[in-house]
């Protein structure tokens, strides 16, 4: 399947004194993309939280920074479901500068599906796993 | 009474592409100072929340930016209790660059004391009002 | 003239432990809206900086918080040019929750047009003032 | 050598709607710790930038989140120099909750030493490498 794609315009507040996007903000761009994907799949974070009483805490993340992005740059963010485990999901991300076609950053985030009441990770509901198949890496 | 004072060292992430502290971050510095004041008064945000089941939502804020602050600058932040109303408190802030002695920013924040269960503002408990007198403007 | 309008979806990272948008983030939403307005006017921040060698530092800002916004909320942000002074511009902002139609926040930001080389405020170029008339309060 | 250690108090703005520190903020805490280490070594970021005309861009980072941290928690952050390469340095970080003694997060950041004028990575100056030996993993 092709990945979920969205675009992100770099704001002034995303930059730092090196006049490039601060590295911590790439993780925020990853998460915004994830939020948009769930909304597009018709199962938003809010619905997951209300319906299943789940959090989706992050347990591990990695990013390689390949080229700087500057204020006003238009970034194309791609999200692929790299792996659906029993209680966890691994998202893969790539960020490309839409003007230069240069790779800006690539990384991953592993989340677990945590039941708020139980306070620990639980098996991913079938409905959620099926939705995530939409953007599964092949 | 003299104001509550603390220092804040400007981090890289606080800056933007103009190589100065992003204006939104002064409000974060204000709030960090408020948190330290409550801790120093022996009645932290957490204790207020647990004991009284209160939030302290902000209802109004203002800031005038007088001079830029740069990465590594040491800022002296002063907090004065400008006014204690029935259900609200007005904090006044000034931020001075400790090296240049220049005024960097000055502003205020008005908070209300909100009961989480009732969902609206309530009268400030006597204990809290008395603590805040410590840094009351005279 | 009608104001410049854009929408903003509240992200998880915008929220705090009160499960609402942190007050400092409204100033970031104001600035993102300003950036979009300049882009829409065909004179982006980047073009202003390159063409005129200007910064647009903020000198004063105010916000009144009327109702909380939560994760996933769609906000409608309106920007009006309240005043064009010789060397400064006052933007007015309102943020409305698109679902509830409730006013979330309203405020203003005053910027100056600063010449990077001279290091001080200068008169607003005619081209810029004319563009800003597009969203001038009447 | 023992690692460089500092403490960090979790602020309200660091938290998100799950009432825990947002994962992106751990990278900011890592960087603040790095800044303090350089200051303590008598060679601040600012001195490095002025003396050598260097940036220290991040090229890779990883973090594993082991337990949530909440508002008001006091975190102990340890920084070890894991590897000094010709043009790069790998920092290792651990964050421990000082009350519960629980491990909160552990990760690493790889930076390169980049000459601003040349626009690419250069060999680490002897003075800098020697300073970093202070906290070298043994």
d(CA D3, CA C117): 44
- pLDDT given at position A89: 98
- pLDDT given at position D9: 98
Question: For residues C59, C11, A17 and D54, what is the CA-based torsion angle, rounded to 10 degrees?
Answer: 170
> Does the pLDDT of residue A1 top 80, yes or no?
no
Please, what is the average pLDDT of chain A? 96
> Does the pLDDT of residue B1 top 90, yes or no?
no
> Does the pLDDT of residue A40 top 90, yes or no?
yes
Superfamily of domain A4-135: Hotdog Thioesterase (3.10.129.10)
Residue (of C24, C31, C98, C96) closest to C63 by Cα position: C24
- pLDDT given at position D45: 87
- pLDDT given at position D119: 87
ipTM of the complex: 0.96
Shortest Cα–Cα distance, D62 to chain C (Å): 19
Dihedral (CA of D21, D24, D30, D36) sign: negative
- pLDDT given at position B119: 87
* Interface residue C59 vs chain B (CB under 8 A): yes
Low-confidence ranges of chain D (pLDDT < 70): none
For the stretch C8-66, pLDDT in tens is 999 999 999 999 999 999 999 999 999 999 999 999 989 998 899 999 999 999 999 99
Strand C58-65 and strand B58-65: the pairing is antiparallel
> Does the pLDDT of residue B138 top 90, yes or no?
no
* Interface residue B119 vs chain D (CB under 8 A): no
Name which of C13, C19, C70 is nearest D22 (Cβ-Cβ): C13
Provide mean pLDDT across the span B61-87: 98
The Cα-based distances of C60 to B65, B91, C113 in angstroms read: 6, 17, 13
* Interface residue B68 vs chain C (CB under 8 A): yes
- pLDDT given at position C34: 98
* Interface residue B35 vs chain D (CB under 8 A): yes
Q: Where are the beta strands (DSSP E) in chain C?
A: 4-9, 54-55, 58-65, 74-84, 88-97, 103-112, 114-115, 120-121
Dihedral (CA of D29, D31, D37, D42) sign: negative
Domain residue ranges in chain C: 4-135
CA angle D60, D62, D63 (to 5 degrees): 155
For the stretch C115-131, pLDDT in tens is 999 989 999 999 999 99
Residue (of C43, C53, C29) closest to C131 by Cα position: C43
* Interface residue B60 vs chain C (CB under 8 A): yes
CA angle D137, D84, D134 (to 5 degrees): 50
d(CA B61, CA A83): 46
Chain A residues touching B19 at Cβ < 8 A: 17, 19
- pLDDT given at position A59: 98
For the stretch B122-133, pLDDT in tens is 999 999 999 999
Residue (of B97, B87, B128, B110) closest to B31 by Cα position: B110
- pLDDT given at position A45: 87
- pLDDT given at position C49: 87
Most A-contacting residue of C40, C71, C111 (CB-CB within 10 A), to test interface = C71
For chain A, what is the radius of gyration of the CA atoms?
A: 16
For the stretch B88-120, pLDDT in tens is 999 999 999 998 999 999 999 999 999 999 989
For the stretch A77-125, pLDDT in tens is 999 999 999 999 999 999 999 989 999 999 999 999 999 999 899 999 9
Provide mean pLDDT across the span B7-16: 98
> Does the pLDDT of residue C1 top 80, yes or no?
no
List the 13-32 stretch of D: residues with Cβ below 8 A of B.
13, 28, 31-32
- pLDDT given at position A127: 94
- pLDDT given at position A77: 98
> Does the pLDDT of residue C138 top 90, yes or no?
no
Contact at CB, A13 and B16, closer than 8 angstroms = yes
* Interface residue B67 vs chain C (CB under 8 A): no
Provide mean pLDDT across the span B31-59: 94
String of DSSP letters for B13-37: GGB-TTSSB-HHHHHHHHHHHHHHH
- pLDDT given at position C21: 98
Shortest Cα–Cα distance, A32 to chain C (Å): 6
* Interface residue A63 vs chain D (CB under 8 A): yes
Contact at CB, C24 and B23, closer than 8 angstroms = no
For the stretch A122-131, pLDDT in tens is 999 999 999 9
* Interface residue B108 vs chain C (CB under 8 A): no
pTM for this entry = 0.97
Please, what is the average pLDDT of chain B? 96
């Amino acid at each position: 399947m092709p990945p979920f794609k969205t675009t992100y315009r770099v704001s002034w507040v995303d930059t730092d004194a090196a006049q490039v996007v601060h590295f911590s903000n790439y993780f925020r761009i990853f998460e915004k993309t994830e939020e948009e994907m769930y909304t597009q799949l018709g199962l938003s974070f809010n619905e997951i939280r209300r319906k299943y009483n789940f959090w989706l805490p992050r347990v591990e993340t990695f990013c390689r920074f390949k080229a700087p992005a500057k204020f006003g740059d238009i970034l194309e963010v791609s999200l692929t479901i790299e792996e659906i485990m029993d209680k966890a999901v691994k998202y893969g991300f790539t960020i490309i500068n839409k003007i230069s076609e240069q790779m800006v950053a690539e990384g991953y985030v592993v989340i677990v599906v945590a039941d708020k009441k139980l306070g620990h990770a639980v098996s991913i509901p079938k409905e959620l796993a099926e939705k995530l198949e939409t953007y599964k890496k092949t």
